[in-house]
A and B are shown apart, each in its own frame.
Chain A
């Protein structure tokens, strides 16, 4: 008769998708933060970079994302707006070639597809890998480098004017999908986020800050 109430049966691959989504959302939010002017002359390093990110605020940026996949002859290109509202609201609004909205607030992900008139709501915590990922990144955005280190092996190279941060996931389940997340930027500002997948596919998101 009544079986266990269950919306637990979501395909396993959906969480993998969300991992990717969250990677792009959370990382994209990073450059949106108002960076403090680190005018002092002390040596620039990871902790300085984190300090820059740790100043939360509301901001917007334009993005263009190119997805290179082996199954496609040419990359898929989407573009739109990214927005971050402290402390936990992340928004990716695709404007071209169609409209779509991905919104993370606290522990909920909402996906709106205006063309289909559909709004779907998901709870992040169902997907432990992704949840860990979000919390890790939120920790980072709050200036908590320790949290970031719990989830990634971190490598920072380059200079303050042009740096590159390599985040290699430590979690096995995540490593099944993602080899590395590569973020390039200048000062406390991100220019691109590149996600390298295990199967050789990659996506590159170019970000141009916009004044709110």
Chain B
């Protein structure tokens, strides 16, 4: 090895080692969707992203216990909840067993005249008190009221009852043996709210681990099974599923590829070398992305590795072209012009992504560009150094003769393929189903059965997905509460008009200071109340002097301090309010959750009528779909531009319009055919498919360029065709295996690239320049 060559090798090793160290010490992988999604541009989107990242909904873990008799499950539910309530990882655990605590009771009792919605000027007149006393008597007579009687002397108008009614939600899960159950009583249900925010995956994972451990402890002698769902569980499950499947399937794919590569090249050393460019490319790409963005997103990593996958083809071209009598250097020099053009077109295509203002896309662009350039450089300057002289496989001459016969088949049947592609194009134009899948849930790599479990648990818990809400923003919590109170009457109207089923506003639980002061002012003077009560009490059988605690409490309430958010801290009450009223962007935000929205227009009008941009209606699903769509639209625009540039580069490279068409047409036709086939299979296209199609374009251009390069002699042509068959074969194997994955993302990428690669090869063969050399 010459000194210069040795220098190349040392330099290369040093770069890789540097990248590896950098990755190990510096690289921070982010996995939350918000790191990949575009910077939110509207207040709605900003709020949506913040809620996805750390909203209370994103912190819920839904727990189901099943596979045991109901009584046993109820017991397990109670012991599990008890254990978890002692942990500091949860805000609260709900399973139907917990009532108001005595502390909460007395808090509400103490503040009943400030919190009760019925307190006004007319509430304590003699006639109103008569009605209240009659009702009290009725309650006393009923078994239900009999034990309330110790509260009666202080609260004859039943104010505590009214306050509690506010807090009770109309629908809850079925109760069985004192615990929440699914309607068929086969599953006990619990809800946990974690302290860790949804994006803190490691902390969430520890939290989930704690639930599993606690369940293992309480269920040691039971047949019961634990099922979990919720955003954190999804995140963990998809991380696990992806890494499991990715490992397992890559391993299978790799073994198959090794078998194929070895059977052709007959050398373990070459098999090992074939992985070098890809490995080097990925290492450098991860390092460069980490340094330039301070983090790398998990999706960038996955997509980037997918896009860089085309680099596996580079060493195959080299290995196939090395002849017995020549050095690898000579071979790489021969194929380099074509390979260089192939790499350049792909890289330029991906380069367009660098200009995206979406962090995810820009990262992906940097990743793919650096990865491919590194892989190509490794193939050009490093691999030949490491290949022994005469590293040519004896099997190649005979195999390549067979190869050329195979690729002549599609050429002969090209009319048939033309018809097929035309049919696909027509189908795409008149397709009955939507082309794009914009549901953000479809981007989640969670298997369908997990999503089904989640829907089931939510339905059974009566906790439908939070979808629609009114969002209020202001400088202080008081201002938010006042906005809320302004809107409440209009919302009640909408409920009356059946435009929505119900709503859950923060001001119901925590009235603004203004309202509380108004209620205090409405409480009568002591003397007035005393006289009203005396009039009202005539001919009721209550013992005289019974209601002096009532007189005392009303008097005290007139001047007592107002209830504040901090009074509720650390109670179940506080939890409820915290979910609806919380600090947001150095200010405060409140949400009014809406149930059963029938008339979205009326709601948006209501928000607009407030005449301030501090209030807006938010439909989480629609908004998130719009973000995904915006993302995709920008990606498409950028890629469209990239493809245009690629066309020009190609034209400059091949200097012939007809060759250009022969290179480009099979790629376009393959993309159309794959899209049509995916739609027929019932898979609307998502971002994953798009990225996979981008890889198909890269691969397809390579095939076209190599098929249509000018060959010096027949041997050269035969070897080129064999190398293309090998490239396509390895791609189809790796991605075909990936298509078997249970994880939707992986299988989508697998199907798309597997099919695309096969189509590209067949169509490129069919439309190639038939050279007789």
Residues on A lying within 8 angstroms of B by beta carbon are: 1-21, 24, 67, 69-74, 76, 78, 94, 98, 100, 102, 107, 111, 123, 125-128, 131, 177, 199, 201, 203
What's the nearest-Cβ distance from chain B to residue A116, in Å?
10
Beta-carbon nearest neighbor of B144 in chain A: A17
Question: Hey, which chain A residues are within 8 Å of B149, CB to CB?
Answer: 69, 71, 201
What's the nearest-Cβ distance from chain B to residue A99, in Å?
11
B82 interface residue, CB < 8 Å from A?
no
B99 adjacent to A78 (CB under 8 Å)? no
A5 adjacent to B173 (CB under 8 Å)? yes
A76 adjacent to B543 (CB under 8 Å)? no
B141 adjacent to A12 (CB under 8 Å)? no
Cα distance, A131 to B164, chains bound together (Å): 23
Residues on B lying within 8 angstroms of A by beta carbon are: 51, 55-57, 60, 74, 92, 94, 96-100, 102, 105, 137-138, 140-153, 160-161, 164, 167-178, 191, 193, 461-464, 466, 469, 541-543, 546, 572, 575-576, 579-580, 591, 593
Question: Hey, which chain A residues are within 8 Å of B98, CB to CB?
Answer: 8
B148 adjacent to A13 (CB under 8 Å)? yes
Question: Hey, which chain A residues are within 8 Å of B572, CB to CB?
Answer: 9
User: Which of A3, A71, A76 makes the CB contact (< 8 A) with B579?
Assistant: A3
B579 adjacent to A2 (CB under 8 Å)? yes
Cα distance, A9 to B169, chains bound together (Å): 9
What are 27 A-B pairs at a CB distance below 8 A? A1-B579, A1-B591, A1-B593, A2-B463, A3-B56, A3-B579, A4-B92, A4-B193, A5-B191, A5-B462, A7-B168, A9-B164, A10-B164, A11-B160, A11-B161, A13-B150, A16-B147, A20-B146, A71-B546, A72-B140, A72-B542, A73-B542, A76-B141, A123-B175, A126-B178, A177-B147, A203-B146
What's the nearest-Cβ distance from chain A to residue B655, in Å?
61
Beta-carbon nearest neighbor of B74 in chain A: A125
Cα distance, A71 to B97, chains bound together (Å): 33
* Contact A7:B144 (CB < 8 A) given known A69-B149, A126-B96: no
Cα distance, A203 to B149, chains bound together (Å): 14
Cα distance, A177 to B147, chains bound together (Å): 8
A111 adjacent to B175 (CB under 8 Å)? no
User: Which of B57, B144, B541 makes the CB contact (< 8 A) with A2?
Assistant: B57
A9 adjacent to B191 (CB under 8 Å)? no
A67 adjacent to B141 (CB under 8 Å)? yes
Question: Hey, which chain A residues are within 8 Å of B173, CB to CB?
Answer: 5
B178 adjacent to A17 (CB under 8 Å)? no
> Taking each of A4, A15, A94, A100, which has the highest tally of chain B beta carbons within 10 Å of its own beta carbon?
A4
Cα distance, A159 to B172, chains bound together (Å): 50
Question: Hey, which chain B residues are within 8 Å of A12, CB to CB?
Answer: 99-100, 102, 105
A131 adjacent to B191 (CB under 8 Å)? no
Cα distance, A74 to B193, chains bound together (Å): 51
Cα distance, A127 to B96, chains bound together (Å): 10
> Assuming A5-B173, A11-B105, A76-B137, what are 16 further A-B pairs, CB within 8 angstroms?
A1-B593, A5-B462, A8-B96, A12-B102, A17-B147, A19-B147, A20-B147, A67-B140, A67-B146, A69-B149, A71-B152, A72-B140, A72-B541, A73-B542, A125-B177, A125-B178
* Contact A76:B147 (CB < 8 A) given known A9-B572, A71-B543, A126-B175: no
What's the nearest-Cβ distance from chain B to residue A100, in Å?
7
Cα distance, A4 to B177, chains bound together (Å): 19
* Contact A21:B143 (CB < 8 A) given known A1-B56, A8-B98, A126-B178: yes
Question: Hey, which chain A residues are within 8 Å of B463, CB to CB?
Answer: 2, 4-5
Beta-carbon nearest neighbor of B93 in chain A: A4
User: Which of A6, A14, A18, A19 makes the CB contact (< 8 A) with B169?
Assistant: A6
* Contact A14:B168 (CB < 8 A) given known A1-B55, A8-B97, A107-B176: no
Question: Hey, which chain B residues are within 8 Å of A131, CB to CB?
Answer: 177-178
A70 adjacent to B461 (CB under 8 Å)? no
Beta-carbon nearest neighbor of B460 in chain A: A5
> Taking each of A76, A94, A107, A177, which has the highest tally of chain B beta carbons within 10 Å of its own beta carbon?
A76
